[in-house]
Chain A
Amino acid sequence: DTAVSQTPKYLVTQMGNDKSIKCEQNLGHDTMYWYKQDSKKFLKIMFSYNNKELIINETVPNRFSPKSPDKAHLNLHINSLELGDSAVYFCASSQMITMDEAFFGQGTRLTVV
């Protein structure tokens, strides 16, 4: 069983479209995150959620809207996609907020053309 799973793995779309990435964890963790890894491989936090509540919003454009229907799911919706949004997006989860090991999903490679 995959601990943190995100779909899709690859996403190619045109500028201006709206897309969603889904994430689910079966570890029973309270905290989930979205990270963005750019072309220079720099991994940067976007959002942290704890028990479905937003804890961290790291100056991400409001075109990005995370949604956590329950503590096992954290989806990312992106409106009006731009070329600069092309990156790999990683979902992750941990039992406590960054006090212990975070488990990462396989990543979603988003390409905006």
Chain B
Amino acid sequence: GQNIDQPTEMTATEGAIVQINCTYQTSGFNGLFWYQQHAGEAPTFLSYNVLDGLEEKGRFSSFLSRSKGYSYLLLKELQMKDSASYLCAATGGDSWGKLQFGAGTQVVVTP
């Protein structure tokens, strides 16, 4: 099987930076996705890391360390609209053919 762990909730103020950590345990790991899901809506793709290192996309960056089974999503210059659930998902090996999601981290942005 595959374990994916991420914090349940994080709170930060507008304009701040928040880092959401995700650890995973899998054999045959291929890559790590991050999705954003606003309440009552569908998940939307944020990033996909296959190689070690940092991928930057505007205010959002994602990091992967394959040897440590660790990823993080960094949200900079937080805006109120960033309040959402952030889902970490692994693929490959035990999770070939599917996205194996973590339980999601609810980020609450306060004024």
Residues of A participating in the B interface, judged by any CB pair closer than 8 Å: 33, 35, 40-45, 48, 50, 55-56, 58, 90, 97-107
CA distance A73 to B37 in the complex (A): 24
CA distance A53 to B91 in the complex (A): 19
| B interface bracket (residues with beta carbon within 8 Å of A) | 20 to 34
B32 to chain A, nearest CB (A): 11
| Cβ contact of A56, chosen from B92, B97, B104, cutoff 8 A | B97
Assess the A105–B97 pair: CB atoms within 8 A. no
Assess the B42–A107 pair: CB atoms within 8 A. yes
Identity of the chain A residue whose Cβ is nearest the Cβ of B39 in the assembled complex: A41
| Cβ contact of B48, chosen from A41, A42, A101, cutoff 8 A | A101
> Inside 8 A of B95's CB, which chain A residues have their CB?
98
A44/B101 contact (C-beta < 8 A), A97-B96, A99-B31 known: yes
Assess the A97–B97 pair: CB atoms within 8 A. yes
Residues of B participating in the A interface, judged by any CB pair closer than 8 Å: 30-31, 33, 37, 41-45, 48, 85, 87, 91-92, 95-101, 103-104
B9 to chain A, nearest CB (A): 11
Assess the A102–B103 pair: CB atoms within 8 A. no
| Cβ contact of A104, chosen from B30, B44, B85, B96, cutoff 8 A | B44
A104 to chain B, nearest CB (A): 4
Interchain residue pairs A-B with the least CB separation, the first 7: A104-B42, A45-B98, A98-B91, A101-B45, A56-B97, A43-B101, A48-B97
Identity of the chain A residue whose Cβ is nearest the Cβ of B103 in the assembled complex: A42
> Inside 8 A of A106's CB, which chain B residues have their CB?
41-42
A55/B45 contact (C-beta < 8 A), A40-B103, A98-B91, A99-B31 known: no
